[in-house]
Amino acid sequence: MRWQTTVVVAILLVLVGGYYVLDVEYLGPRQEKREQTKNRVWVVEDKSVEELVVKRPADTLRIRRLGDGWHMLEPVSGTGAKGSIDSAVSDIVNARMDREITATPGSLAEYGLDKPAAEITLRAKGTAEPLGLSLGAKNPTGEWVYAKKRGAPSVFVLPELILRDATQAASEFRDRTVLAFDRKDVTGLELVTREDTIDLERGDPRQWRITRPVTLPADADAVTEFIDKLQFGRVKEFVVEKPPSLAAYGLDRPVRVELWLGSGKDRTSKALLFGRVAGEKKGVYALRPGEPSVLLLDQGVWDQLPKNVAALRDKTVVAFDRDKLTRLALESPKGAVALARQGDQWRITAPQPLPADGPVVSGLLFQLREAKAQAFLPGVHFTPTVKVSLWEGETKTPRIVALGPSTETRGGQPSAYAELLGQGPPVLVEARLLSTLSKSAPELRDHSLFGGLETKQVTRIRVSRGGRTALFERSSPLEWKMVEPRRGAARSGRVEDLLLTVAALRWNDILGDGADAKRYGFDAPSLEVTLFGDKGAELATLTIGKREGGQFYVRTKAPTVYTVDTTRLGALPKIPDDLQG
């Protein structure tokens, strides 16, 4: 290549590169900025606006930026609704003129601008003078509003959205938070009712205690649910400002709620006054001390407010940790039963040693732990018919819950008496607890036919029905193949379902030793299933006899006859058709 050609190419490259830099770094951004500001009423940023004033025929709205939020100065003083105000400011600041109607209007009345629907004034950083805009009437289609900038003669149209923003009721720009706080910061609560003053203090995040007028554990759920209602509740309506009398709203003798936040020298409080319930509005009147506005809150906030010690005290009949229980004893009309925990399992120790039914025992303990007092009855005496004794850890002295029948009802449902002996007072609980906790040894014993059987140990399954037999062998954790009467594929899902059904089978009643095989249908079984483990060891055998009503007669290798619900077995498979691949 000649040197002259090289020079020309180099010059061209420099020119192309220079133009690229000019376009990317200078011309492009300027063009983009021109597009962004094209036809905008004002070239200011949302975040630069420090004050918004909207003068309307009925009132004047004045809002000033305060930190990350807004504060309303007129027509009332209060915290502004950040989302609503940010949205309106953004709409106004970024408003674009669709077209100019006239540069020199003869009469502003023709456009509704002689008596504007709204006069907007913005004060923004970087502007020497406030920015003004008048909004008049809508155009004939209703999609646009006539507008005019302050100090400029021309009339133009803007989207009707700007008029909607500017003429919203002042209440739409007010923060509707009932009380601004974070639940995790609440350390105390004071309720001053017309009859009493109740103080509560928080210990752990989920533990509350009543400290006045008595010292008692508090119902943490009731306290937490009320605090949640306050934190997340919203003002339904700003009813009136500075009413001449609070009596009309029941706020002359209010119920006072005060939340204490933080601890030590940094402890602060927030209060709310409750007046009367406005049934027709499904709300309750309220007032924040020091503020002029009567508020209407959702009635659910008032309904959630615990109004006396009885509503606030812990209603748990007996608190215990199920994982720490070591012994359990039941006394009821069905007899006495004693149980002891062995590792993760429960065993009946009296009246005779037997494995216990884990789910049944767990269900009984769950019902007892979740039992709640419906009412506290100091001075009431009753005759117990059921007693439950609980031992935790190495303690030698149990806690005993006594229960007895009652003629009282709550919510139209029967109730029963209950008492944690030695810690009183008696309480009312749901009457169903009497039957739930009245369990005999047969009801508590393990009803599994094959307790402890682990299905993963089963390597072969033999199934017989109607003179036909099939043998299946596990080929992988969830895959089976047929070995007899011929080798081939198996319906692994069906075989696995059969295995799980047998392993989980539970009996209803024990009938006897089954010496009369014909009586129960064991001479011609409906189905027989044998499970084998490694090296052909027999793990379990299930023989299903005849069906009577809604149950089958069954037995294992032992001669004892049991009854099993037909629903637990489902449809018995045809052999080998239903199980072969």
- Tell which residue, 314, 316, 312, has the closest CA to residue 227: 312
Residue 36 has pLDDT above 70, yes or no: no
Predicted confidence (pLDDT) per residue in 525-550, tens digit: 999 999 999 888 999 999 999 999 99
Cis, peptide link before residue 425, omega less than 30° from 0: yes
Predicted confidence (pLDDT) per residue in 82-92, tens digit: 999 999 999 99
In 3-state terms, what secondary structure has residue 54?
A: strand
Q: Which two structure tokens, joined as six digits, stand for 405?
A: 């029948």
Residue 32 has pLDDT above 60, yes or no: no
Instruction: Band the pLDDT of 8: cuts 50, 70, 90.
Output: low
Residue 488 has pLDDT above 70, yes or no: yes
Question: What distance in Å separates the CA atoms of residue 187 and residue 196, rounded to the nearest whole number?
Answer: 21
- DSSP tag of 411: T
SS3 readout for 480-517: EEEEECCCEEECHHHHHHHHHHHHCCECCEEEECCCCH
When the pLDDT of each residue in the chain is averaged and rounded to a whole number, the result is: 91
pLDDT of residue 34: 47
310 to each of 217, 315, 376, how far by Cα in Å?
11, 9, 7
User: In terms of pLDDT, which residue wins out, 51 or 513?
Assistant: 51
Question: What distance in Å separates the CA atoms of residue 80 and residue 92, rounded to the nearest whole number?
Answer: 17
Residue 29 has pLDDT above 60, yes or no: no
- Tell which residue, 450, 432, 545, has the closest CA to residue 506: 450
pLDDT of residue 96: 92
Instruction: Collect all residues with Cβ–Cβ distance below 8 Å to 455 and sequence separation of at least 6.
Output: 499, 500, 503
Predicted confidence (pLDDT) per residue in 393-435, tens digit: 988 999 999 999 999 999 899 999 999 999 879 999 999 999 9
Report whether 142 contacts 160 (CB < 8 A). Answer: yes
- Tell which residue, 84, 89, 80, 108, has the closest CA to residue 42: 89
Question: What distance in Å separates the CA atoms of residue 430 and residue 409, rounded to the nearest whole number?
Answer: 9
Question: What distance in Å separates the CA atoms of residue 69 and residue 175, rounded to the nearest whole number?
Answer: 10
Q: Partners of 102 in the beta sheet? A: 155
Give the CA dihedral 210, 212, 215, 216, nearest 10 degrees. Answer: -30
pLDDT of residue 20: 60
Report whether 568 contacts 562 (CB < 8 A). Answer: no
- Concatenated DSSP letters for 3-15? HHHHHHHHHHHHH
Residue 230 has pLDDT above 80, yes or no: yes
pLDDT of residue 4: 63
- Tell which residue, 424, 400, 572, 390, has the closest CA to residue 498: 572
Report whether 295 contacts 196 (CB < 8 A). Answer: no
Q: Which two structure tokens, joined as six digits, stand for 528?
A: 């027989």
pLDDT of residue 424: 78
Residue 12 has pLDDT above 90, yes or no: no
pLDDT of residue 516: 84
Q: Partners of 118 in the beta sheet? A: 135
571 to each of 109, 296, 481, 574, how far by Cα in Å?
86, 61, 22, 9
Cis, peptide link before residue 75, omega less than 30° from 0: yes
Residue 3 has pLDDT above 70, yes or no: no
pLDDT of residue 27: 47
Share of the chain above pLDDT 90, in %: 81
Report whether 545 contacts 523 (CB < 8 A). Answer: no
Predicted confidence (pLDDT) per residue in 119-138, tens digit: 999 999 988 889 999 999 99
In 3-state terms, what secondary structure has residue 154?
A: coil
pLDDT of residue 109: 93
Average pLDDT over residues 132-160: 94
